[in-house]
Structure 1
Amino acid sequence: MDRLSSLLGLPYTDTVVVVGAIVLGVTSGVLGAFAVLRRRSLVGDAIAHSTLPGVCVAFLVAGVKDVPGLLLGAAVAGLVAALLMVGIERAGRIRPDAAIGVVLSGFFSLGVVLLTHIASTDDADQAGLERYLFGQAAGLLERDVAVMAALGAAALLVVGVGRRALTTTLFDPAYAGSIGLPVRALEALMTGLLVVAVVIGVRLVGAILMVAMLVIPTVTARQLVDRFTRVLPLAGVVGAAVGATGALVATRAELPTGPVVVLAGFAVAVVALLLAPGRGVAWQAGRLAARRRRVCEDALLSDPGAPDRGRRDRRTRAALRRRGLLAPDGALTAAGHAARSDLAERRALWSAWLAHGASVTLPDAREPDPADLRGSLGDDAVSQLKALAGGDSGSGDHGRARAPEAR
């Protein structure tokens, strides 16, 4: 750690905090993906809150504030809470959110009671147990980070070895059962991995904020990539970046590490939700605006002599003039007539697809695009459509009559 501290140019204490935050970010990012994509994110929150009574009971049993022992108590309490949630949900026919609420409130209340009881004793060694509630990264030691890294590496190794079985169970448990996979055992394993991530993080960010480290990396990664095999490593990278950035900012500004790390993750998630290519709010808004402009332009190309209906029509006419499709007097130019013919053909092809698409043979499962059927389906499919439509799909009048709204 001393060599790493000199390499990074950070004090020893700050280096320990940054490395611990990176370990937490990678582990919680990868393991939290299984909870988020199962729509069981709040299970992680309940498990995190349930670790508090485990820490208190471990201290009462051992009588000393030994970090491995306290983490073991937290892990046992988290597993008991997870099993209790499943039992309440299945035995009592209660909705999952209600079962989570019951367990979370019960275990957390028990933890607060035990913490208050321990604080009222004369045992001087009890000081600092409340840090597992809110987190205190400044108290991390090198051996604590080593324990966190060992637990995280073991959990990630399990994910790497059983990735195919875990993925199949995650997305299609019925199919997983039909091919002989032990679905219940794999679901229990996913819950156990979630407990490991929580146990690693309660010391650094606390039981209250731990759920953010489970959810934020996966939410961010899911905005950027589609395939689960890419979501897992990207979530780990995002978690590591968020942990390192938040820890560095917190140490420089002398702020609590856990909340700053979560705020850094929140900022990254918001940016991804707004600006992610193809999925972001801004991207979707731009695509919708472009589609509206195209609809208005297609309407004017179909009927350039239509009366001016307001500012939008004036902007559309101006855009067509800039593109050389509309003359200053409002008539179509040669390029405008060519664009109008192309529009009529696209409409006719879409009408033919609506009428005969089920009979077209495609090499794979392609999604037709009404604005560019030829580009999305290919020339062979278009030729089949024209043959099925009796050769009339290229007629502009037919296109306008059959599908006036499809553009």
Structure 2
Amino acid sequence: MDGVSELASEPSMLSTALGLPYTDAVVIAGALVLGITSGVLGAFAVLRRRSLVGDAVAHATLPGVCVAFLVAGMKDVPGLLLGAAIAGLVAALLMVGIERASRIRPDAAIGVVLSGFFAFGVVLLTHLSNSSDADQAGLENYLFGQAAGLLERDVAVMAGLAASALLVVGVLRRALTTTLFDPAYAGAIGLPVRALETVMTALLVVAVVIGVRVVGAILMVAMLVVPTVTARQLADRFPRVLVLAGLIGAAVGVTGALTATRGQLPTGPVVVLTGFTVAVAALLLAPGRGVLWQARRLAARRRTVRRDAVLTQPDAPVSGLRDRLVRAGLRRRGLLAADGTLTAAGRAAAAETAERRALWTAWLEHGPSIRLPDAREPDPTDLRGSLGDDAVAQLRALAAGAPR
């Protein structure tokens, strides 16, 4: 009986706490740790537009694992993870160095490092597979992932790394956020921008190292990107995005792991497919930002434009099916009489439309001159609701030529 089977047959605090068999409990716990960590730490890479750096770092962990095995002579998980971390950090710093020391574009630098490190890893892995050392069996799992081979002590190592990385984020959150969104301002106020960027890169390496055992180097980039993409559809402020990304990553990891264990499917691909499904749903359905929500809002605005055109020019010739449908809708609402003239309610609606257009014209002409309490996006169909009564009063005064 191998080590995993022996541990699976013994009582475990983790399996007892979750009420699941040992293997299932360990896989779910590992996916939970991975989801939270990759969600929070991956946000820094995604919002820096450096997502592919995570992909390159993930692929670069393979030679690190192989070299660590050659040095140690055994598959010691902490040692292998240390080798993966060192290789990932070297790859990340090499990408930055190539980018800054030459005219090579960032995407080309990423491609050079990714292909070079991954090719070196494949060569080392093939060499080890052809050797007579039986202990090398299973190293390929760092490439494709094998969550079922996790042990409780492996999850403990992953959780320790995750807790340390999240603690760094908590302590340096303000400095990291400032450097992330405005490095020039961060440097102007005395923050060590280069050091903080290195910290963000190191955090990305930690997330990758935690995830390679669960989803593998090839699919790890999805766990870095999916939670933040989903959270960004649901929140605007960075602290909320961080929290939501961690929660979404946790939910994706646990749901995917449960589905995989129940269906006897590979954990990594199922977790990634679960995340993909969640991300697509958010892109389509997120309130205010989803594709379907935007399409619905655009269709409503087009209907408003057509309705306003009929209200301002009710005697214009009828052209096309849409115009007929708009007029039929106005008649049902009592704004248009059967003979095509405006009713009293229609004339009031036409006056409101004229006022709204006049306000929008005033905004286009005098918008930069008015005082707003914060950054607001004007809505052409509801300028008062989007800007407020005070802004509308200022616009009217400017349009009339009176002092504010």
TM-score computed with the length of structure 1 as normaliser: 0.93
C-alpha displacement of 1:79: 1.0
Aligned Cα root-mean-square deviation (Å)? 1.7
Q: What are the residue-to-residue correspondences of 1:158-169 with 2, within 5 Å?
A: 158-169=168-179
In 2: Cα distance, 1:312 partner to 1:116 partner: 66
1:97 aligns with 2:107: yes
Is the alpha carbon distance of 1:199 and 1:113 closer, same or farther for their aligned partners in structure 2, counting shifts above 3 Å?
same
Residue 214 of structure 1 corresponds to: 224
How far apart are residue 343 of structure 1 and its match? 0.8
Are positions 1:329 and 2:339 aligned together?
Answer: yes
Deviations 1:268-292 (A, max 9, x none): 0000011111111001100110010
Alignment equivalent of 1:118, drawn from 128, 133, 158: 128
Match of 1:223 in 2: 233
1:136 and 2:132 aligned? no
Confirm whether residue 56 of structure 1 aligns to residue 98 of structure 2. no
- d(CA) in 1 for partners of 2:375, 2:249: 35
Structure 2 match to 1:197: 207
Residues 146-185 of structure 1 mapped to structure 2, 5 A cutoff:
146-185=156-195
State the Cα distance separating 1:391 from its structure 2 match.
8.5
Structure 2 CA distance for aligned equivalents of residues 79 and 363 of structure 1: 44
Find the aligned partners of 1:63 and 1:383 in 2 and give their Cα distance: 77
What amino acid sits opposite 2:157 in the alignment?
V
Separation in structure 2 between the aligned mates of residue 200 and residue 364 of structure 1, nearest angstrom:
41
- In structure 2, do the counterparts of structure 1 residues 80 and 308 end up closer, same or farther at CA, with 3 Å as the change threshold? same
Cα distance in 1 for partners of 2:157, 2:234 equals 32
C-alpha deviation, 1:83, in angstroms: 1.5
> CA, structure 1 residues 87+306, in 2 after alignment: closer, same or farther (shift >3 Å)?
same
CA distance in 2, matches of 1:311, 1:192: 60
- The Cα of 1:148 is off from its aligned counterpart by 0.2
Q: Please list, as runs of the form range in 1=range in 2, the aligned pairs for 1:16-31 lying within 5 A after superposition.
A: 16-31=26-41
The amino acid across from 2:25 in the alignment is T
Q: CA deviation at 1:355?
A: 3.5
Does 2:258 match 1:248? Answer: yes
d(CA) in 2 for partners of 1:227, 1:9: 37
**Which residue of the partner structure matches residue 285 of structure 2?**
275
Aligned length: 392
Q: What is the letter of the counterpart of residue 256 of structure 1?
A: P
TM-superposed deviation, 1:86: 1.4
Question: 1:178 and 1:361, CA in 2 relative to 1: closer, same or farther beyond 3 A?
Answer: closer
- In structure 1, the residue matched to 2:93 is 83
* Cα distance change, pair 231–386 in 1 and its aligned pair in 2 (3 A): closer
1:44 paired with 2:44, answer no
* DSSP 3-state at the match of 1:204: coil
Could you say which residue in structure 2 is the equivalent of 1:266?
276
1:398 aligned residue: none
Contact 2:39 2:249 in 1 (8 A): yes
CA 1:165/1:135 → structure 2, altered by over 3 Å: closer, same or farther?
Answer: same
Q: Which moved more, 1:121-130 or 1:318-327?
A: 318-327
2:150 counterpart letter in structure 1: L
User: Is the 8 Å Cα contact of residues 14 and 26 (structure 2) preserved in structure 1?
Assistant: no
Distance verdict in 2 for CA 1:4–1:61, change over 3 Å? closer
From 12, 17, 21, the equivalent of 1:11 is: 21
Deviations 1:85-106 (A, max 9, x none): 1121122221111111111111
Question: Bigger shift: 301-310 or 321-330?
Answer: 321-330
**Which digits, 9 at most, give the CA deviation of each residue in 1:166-188, with x for residues without a partner?**
00111111111111111111101
Shift of 1:372: 2.2
Residue aligning to 1:66: 76
More displaced stretch, 202-211 vs 340-349 = 340-349
Question: In the TM superposition, what is the alpha-carbon distance from 1:361 to its structure 2 partner?
Answer: 4.0
1:238 counterpart residue number: 248
Letter in 1 for 2:221: V
AA at the equivalent of 2:275 = G
Distance in 2 (alpha carbons) for counterparts of 1:109 and 1:52: 9
TM-fit CA distance, 1:265 = 0.4
Change in 2 beyond 3 A, CA 1:63/1:352:
closer
Q: Per-residue deviation at 1:335?
A: 1.1
The CA deviation string for residues 151-202 of structure 1, in whole angstroms up to 9 with x for no partner, is 0000000000000000011111111111111111110111001110011000
User: In the aligned structure 2, how far is the partner of 1:350 from the partner of 1:388?
Assistant: 13
Amino acid at match of 1:84: L
Please state how far the C-alpha of 1:363 moved relative to its aligned partner. 4.2
Distance in 1 between residues matched to 2:132 and 2:255, nearest whole Å: 39
CA displacement at 1:382 relative to structure 2:
3.1
Q: Which amino acid aligns with 2:247?
A: V
Tell me which amino acid in the other structure corresponds to 1:258: G
Q: Distance in 1 between matches of 2:367 and 2:218?
A: 54
Q: Give the alignment of 1:331-370 within 5 angstroms.
A: 331-370=341-380
In structure 2, the CA distance between the partners of 1:297 and 1:137, relative to structure 1 (3 Å rule), is same
Q: Which runs of 5+ in 1 are unaligned?
A: 393-407
The letter for the 1-side match of 2:315 is G
Superposed CA offset, 1:196-250 (max 9, x none): 0011000111111111111110111011101101000100001000000110111
Q: Matches of 1:381 and 1:170 in 2, distance apart? A: 33
Could you tell me which runs of 5 or more consecutive residues in structure 2 were left unpaired when the two chains were aligned: 1-10
TM-score w.r.t. length of structure 2? 0.93
**Do the aligned residues in 1 keep the contact of 2:14 with 2:152 (CA within 8 Å)?**
no
C-alpha distance in 1 between matches for 2:374 and 2:158: 47
